[in-house]
Amino acid sequence: MLTNDPNIYPPVAPLPPLGTTFIDPIFNTAILRVSDAAALGAGWISTEYPPVDAFNCDRTLFVLVRVNHFQLYDLNGFVKELPIGASARPRWSRTERTVLYFLQGNTLQSIDVNSLALTALRAFSAYTAIDDEGEADISEDGGHRVLCGDGHAVFLFDMVAGTESPILDTGGIPFDSLYVTPDNNVTISWESVGAGRGQGIELFDGSGKFLRQIGLSSSHMAMTRDTNGDEVLVRTNSNDAPALDGCPNGIEKVRLSDGSRTCLLSLDWSLAVHISAPTGAGFVYVETYDAPSLHPTGGENWKVYGGELLRVWFDGRVDRLCHHRSVAWSYNGQPKATCSRDGSMLLFSSNMGRPVPADYCDVYAIAVGH
């Protein structure tokens, strides 16, 4: 791992075979390969999405997507197939190590991954289908999920009390994502860019009351707490117009209580990112990726931080962890790095630079020390 190092480092070696650990020769980080899509005849195996924790509460198990459904893994590799579709949004209980909650039709269900016993927890009969739009995890208290009925009725569901908040009806305005904040507020990321209502990222309280805008554009982002306990959103401002002063294509921290913004890192405009955040650890993980035309194995087009996994601290430090060696020929080429809730484990997907098949990827793990 290198800290606050401004030099350019193209990757120099391939990733390891299944079940073996490879030491990144530049950053000295140990990388463990945990899946083998070819051996399982899977086509590809991937993490789901960065803000969603793939790990259970004690970090002994995690879930990955195999094309059209989820699989269960531990750090020794594949454990079993799960009867959970790829769009079912499984989320781990924060207290029970073998329990996942997932969505099916208009029903919230749970599954014990040991016995595969299924339990229907709540049917939302007012809707034909419910969803969380794919980016929202369970809240920090482990008891709340933000959901949307039939694509327009947003509400916060209290999984302990079994109650729903008042409906926030989007009225047909297109939106991209929903998040629940650490204090059980809700954000909606609208597709329209701007400073007006129904644009950018808006914050609502748990009863659906509008509080404030906290971003000018929908973006890749993650929710967490600052070191003083404040709720914060960490996001890329690449689609903002105007962007935060002095922070082009930046990773910025937004305090939800007042919308104040702090630049954490500015990146070359060729680089796109995803962000994953542990709970109140004082940092986030950022992956960078770019178009294949800008992603050689080396040479003059390589950019600082290009093709890397980074730990970006709220005090301004940047730890460079490793090269993910994945080329974004397609969506599956995006590493979609996701961390455990305590920030000690990181999973990412990689196609190892293979041009064919375009959808191939496997998953790798890093144990990250502070």
| Residue found under tokens 């016993």 | 117
DSSP letters spanning 294-358 = G--SSSTT--TTTTEEEEEETTS-EEEEEE-----SSGGGS---EE-TTSSEEEEEE-TT--SST
Give residue limits of the domains in the chain: 1-50+220-370
List beta partners, residue 180. Answer: 186
Task: Report how far apart, in Å, the C-alpha atoms of 193 and of each of 213, 243, 286, 347 are.
Answer: 12, 12, 23, 31
The pTM assigned to this predicted structure is 0.95
Residue 359: CB atoms within 10 Å: 16
Task: Report how far apart, in Å, the C-alpha atoms of 9 and of each of 153, 280, 301, 306, 335 are.
Answer: 47, 30, 11, 8, 18
- List pLDDT tens digits, range 52-61: 999 999 999 9
pLDDT for res 293? 56
pLDDT for res 298? 47
pLDDT for res 212? 98
pLDDT tens for the chain, 370 residues: list them. 888 888 888 777 777 889 999 999 899 999 999 999 989 988 899 999 999 999 999 999 999 999 999 999 999 999 999 999 999 999 999 999 999 999 999 999 999 999 999 999 999 999 999 999 999 999 999 999 999 999 999 999 999 999 999 999 999 999 999 999 999 999 999 999 999 999 999 999 999 999 999 999 999 999 999 999 999 999 999 999 888 999 999 999 999 999 999 999 999 998 999 999 999 999 999 999 986 655 545 445 788 999 999 999 999 999 999 999 888 888 888 999 999 999 999 999 998 877 666 688 999 999 997 6
Overall CATH class of domain 1-50+220-370: mainly beta
Quick one: which of 188, 215, 185 has its CA closest to 133?
A: 188
